[in-house]
Structure 1
Amino acid sequence: MNRKLVPKGIRILPLKVRKGRALIYVYRPNALECDLADHRSRGLLLRYGYTPGDSNRCVIHLIRRLRSDGEFPHEIGLFLSYPPEDVLGFILNKACHHKCIGCWKVYGDEQMAKSIFRKYEECSKIYSQQWEQGKSIEQLTVAG
Structure 2
Amino acid sequence: MSEETIVKNCSPTLAGIKTGSLFNCEYDSREMLKAKIREFNRRFASKGLRFVPMRIGEKRALIYVFRPKRLKNDLLSAEVAEILAERGYACEGPEKCVAALGKRIREDEEFPHEIGLFLGYPPEDVRGFIENHAKESKLVGHWKVYGDAEKARLLFDRYNRCTSSYLRKLTQGSSLENLTVAG
What's the RMSD between the two structures over aligned residues? Answer: 1.0
Contact 1:65/1:73 (<8 A) preserved: yes
Q: Which runs of 4+ in 1 moved over 2 A?
A: none
CA distance in 2, matches of 1:45, 1:129: 37
Give the secondary structure class of the aligned counterpart of 1:22: strand
CA distance in 2, matches of 1:107, 1:20: 35
Q: Which residue of 1 aligns with 2:47?
A: 8
Instruction: Map Cα deviations across residues 75-129 of structure 1 (whole Å, 9 max, x no partner).
Output: 0000000000000100111110000011000000011100101111111111010
2:141 is the counterpart of 1:125: no
Structure scoring higher RCO (CA < 8 A, sep ≥ 6) equals 2
What fraction of aligned residue pairs are identical, expressed as a percent?
Answer: 48
Structure 1: runs of 5+ lacking an equivalent:
none
CA distance in 1, matches of 2:130, 2:49: 28
Give the secondary structure class of the aligned counterpart of 1:82: coil
Contact 1:36/1:52 (<8 A) preserved: no
Q: Which residue of 2 aligns with 1:116?
A: 155
Contact 1:50/1:57 (<8 A) preserved: no
Contact 2:105/2:112 (<8 A) preserved: yes
Where in structure 2 are the equivalents of 1:1-144 lying within 5 Å?
Answer: 1-144=40-183
Give the secondary structure class of the aligned counterpart of 1:130: helix
Give the secondary structure class of the aligned counterpart of 2:53: strand
- Displacement of 1:52: 4.6
The count of residues paired between Structure 1 and Structure 2 equals 144
CA distance in 2, matches of 1:5, 1:69: 30
Normalised to the residue count of structure 1, the TM-score between the two structures is: 0.96
Normalised to the residue count of structure 2, the TM-score between the two structures is: 0.76
